[in-house]
Amino acid sequence: MAPKGSQLQRDMKISDAFFEMEISKLNINVSQMFNKINMSLADFTLELSQLKTNVSQLSIKVAMLEKQDVELKKELADLRNKFLVTNREIRSILADLMTEISKLKKGGNYTEPPGAAPGQEWDHVAPYDIQILQVPEEDEDCSSGHGPIKCQCPAQWKRFRQSCYYFSSVRKSGAEAGRSCATNDAYLVVINGAEEQMFIRISAQNTRYWIGLNDTTSEGDWCWADGTDYSSNLKFWRTGEPNNQNDEDCVVMEDTGEWNDEPCHTQQYWICEKSAQPLP
Ligand code: BGC
Ligand code: CA
């Protein structure tokens, strides 16, 4: 029979070997885990540095876009100004052309081409004035010296330069139309030049309106509603007008924009005019 002690020694040796194996297994696991952690950390560091690069590239792009935005805004403002200046120039050339046509007609030097419809001479300028008058009216200073104070018009009235205009939506006789304007501190529209003529023609949108011209007091002596001198003022009569065909002492602007005398008792739409006011 073997001594008890040696059995115990054998058993202890076995368990020692077992523990050593377990510890070495654990060591391997721990070192594998450390390896993994180190690898993830490296990945993470790389990603972080890429993110930093991206952010700095984006910041540069944002700064460039902001700069472009400022430059484009400036370019836009310049273009807008140029457009307004050109528009003003074209408007004044058109006005000169209209003035010229009006003078030729008055001097009898203008003959319509054979078969031309009345008013066709205006067809040369008509397509352009509509376009240029789409541009919003520039602000006008209505202060008398201590300005600028913007010119303003009541609701329902349109402003052009320093005047306000009302286009009626019902028809009345010439006299009633004039009284209706007077009730509103206004008078039937007085056309003082080609630009105003242009503005009225376009705003009238092919509707016939009474204007503030009549020869009710004395046949052939034309008078403007506000006392403006008739002979020195521009005229936009249709060829052959005024003809007093049926005792015609009042004047309409036809759809072509030209003027024609009509009997005052006929019912027409009308246009009132009054000065714009310096309202804050
Ligand atoms: C109008 C007149 C105009 C004539 C021209 C008539 O219908 O009442 O005012 O002069 O047409 O043809
Ligand atoms: Ca007539």
DSSP 3-state percent helix, strand, coil across the chain (nearest 5): 50, 15, 35
Atom of ligand 1 nearest to the CA of 246: 8
Tokens representing 154?
């009541």
The answer to whether 107 and 235 are in contact (CB under 8 A) is no
Asked if 200 and 253 touch (Cβ cutoff 8 Å), the reply is: yes
Task: Point out the ligand 1 atom lying closest to the alpha carbon of residue 248.
Answer: 9
| Long-range CB contact pairs, 130-139, < 8 A, 24+ | 130/202, 132/87, 132/90, 132/91, 132/94, 133/91, 133/198, 133/199, 133/202, 135/83, 135/84, 135/87, 137/161, 138/84
Residues with CB under 6 A from ligand 1: 241, 243, 245-246, 248, 260-262
CA of 262 to the centre of ligand 2 (A): 5
Give the model confidence (pLDDT) of 153-162 as tens digits.
999 999 999 9
158's enclosing H/E stretch is strand 158-160
Ligand 1 centroid vs 6 CA: distance in angstroms? 146
**Confidence class for position 118, pLDDT limits 50, 70, 90:** low
At residue 135 the predicted structure's pLDDT band, cuts being 50, 70 and 90, is confident
pLDDT at 97: 86
Indicate which residue's Cα is closest to atom 6 of ligand 1: 245
**pLDDT reading at 117 higher than 80:** no
Place 243 in a pLDDT band, splitting at 50, 70 and 90.
Answer: very high
